[in-house]
Amino acid sequence: MTDTPDPIRPEARAPRGFADRRGPEVAQERRIVRQVSEVYERWGFEALETGAFEYADALGKFLPDADRPNEGVFALQDDDEQWMALRYDHTAPLARFAAQSWETLPKPYRRYAFGPVWRNEKPGPGRFREFVQCDADTVGSDRPEADAEIIAMACEGLQAAGLAEGQAVVRVSNRKLFDGLFEAGGITDPIQRLTALRAIDKFDRLGWEGVAQLLGEGRLDDSGDYTKGANLPLGVASTIEAFLGSASEGTRAETLDAIARSGGLGAAGEAALEELAGIDRALTAMRVDQVTVRFDPTIVRGLEYYTGAVFEAELLLDTTDDKGRPVRFGSIGGGGRYDDLVARFTGQSTPATGFSFGVSRLASALRAAGRAGEVARGPVVVIVFSQDDMQSYLDAVSELRAAGIAAELYLGRAGMKAQMKYADRRNAPAAVMLGGDEIAAGQVTIKDLDAGRAAAAGLADNEAWKAARPGQQTVARADLVSTIRAIIEASSTI
Amino acid sequence: MTDTPDPIRPEARAPRGFADRRGPEVAQERRIVRQVSEVYERWGFEALETGAFEYADALGKFLPDADRPNEGVFALQDDDEQWMALRYDHTAPLARFAAQSWETLPKPYRRYAFGPVWRNEKPGPGRFREFVQCDADTVGSDRPEADAEIIAMACEGLQAAGLAEGQAVVRVSNRKLFDGLFEAGGITDPIQRLTALRAIDKFDRLGWEGVAQLLGEGRLDDSGDYTKGANLPLGVASTIEAFLGSASEGTRAETLDAIARSGGLGAAGEAALEELAGIDRALTAMRVDQVTVRFDPTIVRGLEYYTGAVFEAELLLDTTDDKGRPVRFGSIGGGGRYDDLVARFTGQSTPATGFSFGVSRLASALRAAGRAGEVARGPVVVIVFSQDDMQSYLDAVSELRAAGIAAELYLGRAGMKAQMKYADRRNAPAAVMLGGDEIAAGQVTIKDLDAGRAAAAGLADNEAWKAARPGQQTVARADLVSTIRAIIEASSTI
């Protein structure tokens, strides 16, 4: 180790909001993506990968100032002066791709995609500026079966990723229900509608009382912040109260009836109920039960984007945080019907529907629920004693690998004790020792590091267990692979 | 289809140099990455994923003008005024991560990574600004076994991805050989050394005559462009000539002998030969043959970066381009030893060595060589005749999926003929028809679309084949899965 001459050194740190992820975490997220992809492909969805950048106008964000990067996205000017930005979801790139390739695509076009998306927002604990999303969408079908298929497939995907039955529920509603409520109540101002929708979106958190204030004059919250209200007429607010009150834990058909009875839905609302009835028929034909997918009028989701059905997937896991307090995981993803996104490019209305979930968020939920799946094992570590016996070490490593067992030679310059510590940090199931005496005798010494870990964790307190896991044993060199395999198999059943 | 009111529409196009990749291409690249990852993990390398952005100073690029994005990278200023840039390789982020996490890492630290890298360069045909690279590196080992392991593992990885034995060669040299040549020749000016190295790097393309001009006064190329030379003394140039002339197709040991005999290597050059001899011993102990990995003094690679051994993997595939002309694929990747990159952050010299290859480049080479592997099949398409029979269609789809066969229901609104065309565009092996009569009779009609494609391709010109593949058949509904499975299996043996 020598000092470099240059005294000006950059600090080794990742930009704020960007995480480094190591082996086990990476393995878990890859497994989720692989399992979900298998389901999506079995349902006839084709993989699509678009580039990280889209032109800013294609992303549909308003550029307030041509000299300034976009709010909320990572944007920069290309050398031809055009603004481009990293994608902030997979839907905008899909809409651009579908519009661009429409003539050559099989229609309807089913595609799935996963990969990082980027948000230029204030990072915080557990809040990243880059995270992996996994999406599936059908473009070019206005059928309720298309919505139902997306919902049913999302449920199967989440289960394939490790969620047990009953650990997730998808709640479904329809954006047009609100269009109908506003229309029938004479609310035409788009800003007033948006303010009201944002208020209703908080029903889950604030309850009716808080929402009522936000639909009326406004609301002062506990921290003293005042939020201006939508100033809806009292009559409209009470129609909305009845509408939200029609939520129930009944069957989908019962919920539809309750919504219809709440009244004041107008023409758009009645059409929305028809669409939901079609989705219900398709879900039932797909044998999707009444508990996994519910109708719920309190779902708002994706205010500016959706034009019909909206879905929200909620985790029902009982988990605890670092301090042992119960944690509700809440929303893991969602989606809905967006019939106008492709039309932004083509001018032709093109029906589309999709579902998206956060892969890291699902991964951490599964970890918290103890359903993360098999822990990735470290490699078997072959200890280095002498440069002269390198051939024996390398042969052992290569024999283990040929048997499908991850294995490596220690490549540092440290002594025996440090090598054992290294093997332990690598989460190695075993360390292989080929000293000069062992090589001469045609033997090998194998240290069962899993047994050591189990003993340390108090799992090895009976004599039978100790007899079965001797900790360290010297066996014939020919028995190397079978001995290691026995250790790995014994550990997987602890 | 209705027109949207907004007349100002963005054009649907991806930014220049960014590609959209669809199903089969995505599947092939994922398969390569999966197969190589399996090998790397079996060799004890741990996955690492870093964020897309690094601080510009961590990437080690010089910022010529604080108001201007970086040359060659996609850079932007964060809201705290710090410049950050998308990674242009996986090595710089690894160096940053290793420096940041050194205390907590098992040492030596073996990691592999794959994912997109971004280059802000002029795009062109086949030249993208975003592409996937796959890297493996060992940080913290100065042993020649570490270099040999990276090389041997790269060879195994390329074969796992589909290259046959003899379709790739890794050529190995050592940067210090040139240090030694320059030292012994009294060339101390770093610019002169760099110019000379760049000239030598063209040996492969220009031969000795062209290199000699570039080592001397300069060279006028065929297009009339003049490149200024390194102005080396004639004596040094002829030492280099002898050095490059020592390249041979002999064993690694023979090449080392020939290089040693060429003379004028200086102290650094002699040390480099020692290192190469150590790598040769380790490669031989790893049973790496003399044809797959060669020593080659003409390899320069990575001028500013490498401090010791350098590797270059070259494809030896015989392929042809669109016009039927023979194409030489050339370099697919490379790497080497870079002992100073972590020291940029820590001030402590930290030995490191690694190998990187371009996933898309390997994918297109494998395609050109007819070794792309199995083509991903489209799903079986179930035709829709009547809304009333939706339950029968959905049951067929779900039965096929449960049997592990990708299947989908047609979800558009078009008639029978368009649905068949759709199924064909989806590369469906078969279409499933459940008309009212068939449902009533407990039957199903299955159209063998693969047979149709084979007939169209002239593969079905004998009677026995036609008898075995009837094209369209009506079978008992209970035989749906077995009939479809027979079609898929028959097709995989065509």
- Distance of alpha carbon A453 from alpha carbon A432, whole angstroms: 17
Q: Sorting pLDDT into bands at 50, 70 and 90, what band is B364?
A: confident
pLDDT score recorded for residue A373: 74
Residues 462-491 in B contacting A (C-alpha not used; CB under 8 Å): none
Tokens of A288: 């999707």
Residues in contact with B471: Cβ distance below 8 Å, sequence separation at least 6, in sequence order? B447, B448, B451, B452, B455
Residue A41 has pLDDT above 60, yes or no: yes
Q: Which residue has the higher pLDDT, A326 or A408?
A: A408
pLDDT score recorded for residue B80: 87
Q: Sorting pLDDT into bands at 50, 70 and 90, what band is A483?
A: very high
Cα–Cα distances in angstroms (integers) from residue A455 to residues A424, A463, A471, B207, B306, in the given order: 14, 12, 10, 65, 46
Instruction: Average the pLDDT over A117-140 and give the result.
Output: 92
- Distance of alpha carbon B449 from alpha carbon B427, whole angstroms: 8
DSSP secondary structure letter of residue B462: S
- Distance of alpha carbon A236 from alpha carbon A215, whole angstroms: 9
Q: Sorting pLDDT into bands at 50, 70 and 90, what band is A112?
A: very high
Instruction: Average the pLDDT over B49-56 and give the result.
Output: 95
Q: What percent of chain A has pLDDT over 90?
A: 71
Residue B454 has pLDDT above 80, yes or no: no
Residues 323-352 in B contacting A (C-alpha not used; CB under 8 Å): 340, 343-350
- Distance of alpha carbon B115 from alpha carbon B120, whole angstroms: 17
Residue A67 has pLDDT above 90, yes or no: no
Instruction: Average the pLDDT over B342-362 and give the result.
Output: 93
Which residues of chain B are within 8 Å of residue A19 when distances are taken between CB atoms? Answer: 51
- Distance of alpha carbon B148 from alpha carbon B169, whole angstroms: 14
Name the strand (E) or helix (H) holding B338: none
Gap between the terminal Cα atoms of chain A = 43
| Residue A392 CA, distance from chain mean position | 45
Inter-chain CB proximity A404 and B13 less than 8 Å: no
Which of A358, A416, A353 is closest to A384 using CA atoms? A416
Residues in contact with A85: Cβ distance below 8 Å, sequence separation at least 6, in sequence order? A53, A54, A55, A56, A59, A61, A70, A73, A74, A75, A76
Tokens of B318: 């015989």
Domains in chain A, CATH or no CATH each: 23-52+87-187+232-368 (3.30.930.10), 380-492 (3.40.50.800)
pLDDT score recorded for residue A465: 61
pLDDT score recorded for residue A248: 87
Tokens of A401: 């690998």
Least confident of A51-60, A347-356, A447-456, B458-467: B458-467
- Distance of alpha carbon A173 from alpha carbon A14, whole angstroms: 41
Query: Can you give the three-state secondary structure of B198-213, one letter per residue?
Result: HHHCCHHHHHHHHHHH
Least confident of A1-5, A71-75, A143-147: A1-5
Q: Which residue has the higher pLDDT, B114 or B457?
A: B114
Cα–Cα distances in angstroms (integers) from residue B426 to residues A40, A106, A155, B460, in the given order: 15, 7, 25, 22
Shortest alpha-carbon distance between residue A399 and chain B (Å)? 11
- Distance of alpha carbon B155 from alpha carbon A472, whole angstroms: 35
Name the strand (E) or helix (H) holding B75: strand B75-77
CB A418, CB B113: distance < 8 Å: no
Q: In a 10 Å sphere around its CB, with 0-12 CB exposed, 13-18 middle and 19+ buried, how is residue B200 labelled?
A: buried
Residue of chain B nearest A95, judged by CA positions? B12
pLDDT score recorded for residue A327: 74
At residue A231, what is the residue type? N
Residues in contact with A274: Cβ distance below 8 Å, sequence separation at least 6, in sequence order? none
Tokens of A429: 């199931």
Instruction: Average the pLDDT over A457-485 and give the result.
Output: 81
At residue A223, what is the residue type? S
Least confident of B179-188, B248-257, B345-354, B369-378: B369-378
Q: Tell me whether B27 touches chain A (CB under 8 Å).
A: yes
**Any idea which residue has 């129609």 for tokens?**
A239
Long-range contacts of B64-72 (CB under 8 A, 24+ apart): B69/A76, B69/A77, B69/B120, B70/B120, B71/B120, B72/B119, B72/B120, B72/B121
List, for residues B219-259, the tens digit of each pLDDT value.
998 888 999 999 999 999 999 999 999 998 899 999 999 99
- Distance of alpha carbon A228 from alpha carbon B188, whole angstroms: 72
Q: In a 10 Å sphere around its CB, with 0-12 CB exposed, 13-18 middle and 19+ buried, how is residue A326 labelled?
A: exposed
The strand pairing partners of A382, in sequence order, are: A409, A432
Which of A369, A354, A313 is closest to A28 using CA atoms? A369
Residues in contact with B102: Cβ distance below 8 Å, sequence separation at least 6, in sequence order? B342, B346, B350
- Distance of alpha carbon B48 from alpha carbon A159, whole angstroms: 27
- Distance of alpha carbon A227 from alpha carbon A225, whole angstroms: 7
- Distance of alpha carbon A262 from alpha carbon A245, whole angstroms: 8
Residues 247-286 in A contacting B (C-alpha not used; CB under 8 Å): 281-282, 285-286
Q: Tell me whether A14 touches chain B (CB under 8 Å).
A: yes
- Distance of alpha carbon B351 from alpha carbon B146, whole angstroms: 10
For chains A and B, count residue pairs whose Cβ atoms are closer than 8 Å: 285
Pairing relationship of beta strands B21-22 and B53-55 according to DSSP bridges: unpaired
DSSP secondary structure letter of residue B376: P
Q: Sorting pLDDT into bands at 50, 70 and 90, what band is A65?
A: very low
Q: Which residue has the higher pLDDT, B354 or B331?
A: B354
Residue A174 has pLDDT above 70, yes or no: yes
At residue B422, what is the residue type? Y
ipTM of model: 0.90
User: How high does pLDDT run on average in chain B?
Assistant: 90
Which residues of chain B are within 8 Å of residue A351 when distances are taken between CB atoms? Answer: none
At residue B231, what is the residue type? N
CB A362, CB A319: distance < 8 Å: no
Q: Sorting pLDDT into bands at 50, 70 and 90, what band is B408?
A: very high
Residue A279 has pLDDT above 50, yes or no: yes
At residue A344, what is the residue type? R
Inter-chain CB proximity A13 and B50 less than 8 Å: no
Cα–Cα distances in angstroms (integers) from residue B442 to residues B211, B393, B476, in the given order: 79, 13, 6
Instruction: Average the pLDDT over B411-440 and give the result.
Output: 94
pLDDT score recorded for residue B165: 87
Residues 122-151 in B contacting A (C-alpha not used; CB under 8 Å): 130, 138, 140-143, 145-146, 149
pLDDT score recorded for residue B7: 58
Residue B44: which of A9, A408, A413 has the nearest Cβ?
A408
Inter-chain CB proximity A12 and B47 less than 8 Å: no
Least confident of A28-42, A71-85, B35-49: A71-85
Q: Sorting pLDDT into bands at 50, 70 and 90, what band is B1?
A: very low
pLDDT score recorded for residue B303: 61
Inter-chain CB proximity B286 and A340 less than 8 Å: no
- Distance of alpha carbon A348 from alpha carbon B1, whole angstroms: 6
Cα–Cα distances in angstroms (integers) from residue B87 to residues A15, A52, A378, B60, in the given order: 12, 13, 28, 11
Mutate to test the interface with B, among A46, A117, A159, A350 (most CBs of B within 10 A): A46
User: How high does pLDDT run on average in chain A?
Assistant: 90
